[in-house]
Amino acid sequence: MSELQNRIVERLTALGRSQQTNLSSEKRDMLMRAAISLFNAGGGTADELKEIVLQADDRKRPRRCSAVAQMVVATAAVSHASDLDLVQAAYNWIDKKEVSLSD
């Protein structure tokens, strides 16, 4: 794992949110809320999101490693378009005193 990933996992563990590695219902919910938040922050609309979700049902389920790569690439693209440093944003989250995963 990268240093950044290790630091995020350490922070999640400190928050009591890194007990298991499988994607429980709670973790899938956390992931979806974060993805929707990023989509909204990038200017996405509810109608666009609905269309994307409807199309996702018709697609073959990607491998987890491919899906993670797609998420990282999409996050980097939004960060670049917003003139934000992706890694610095993650470290800022790690260093926050009081955090929630929906921040």
* 67 closest CA partner among 31, 91, 103, 40: 31
Overall pTM > 0.95: no
**44: in domain:** yes
**43: in domain:** yes
- Each of the 103 residues of the chain gets a pLDDT tens digit; together they read 688 778 777 877 777 765 545 577 887 888 889 889 989 988 999 999 999 888 876 667 888 888 888 888 888 888 888 888 888 888 888 887 555 555 5
**72: in domain:** yes
Q: How many domains does the chain have?
A: 1
Query: For residues 30 and 51, what is the distance between their CA atoms, to the nearest angstrom?
Result: 21
**30: in domain:** yes
Query: For residues 27 and 20, what is the distance between their CA atoms, to the nearest angstrom?
Result: 10
**28: in domain:** yes
**66: in domain:** yes
- Residue ranges making up the domain that contains 43: 3-95
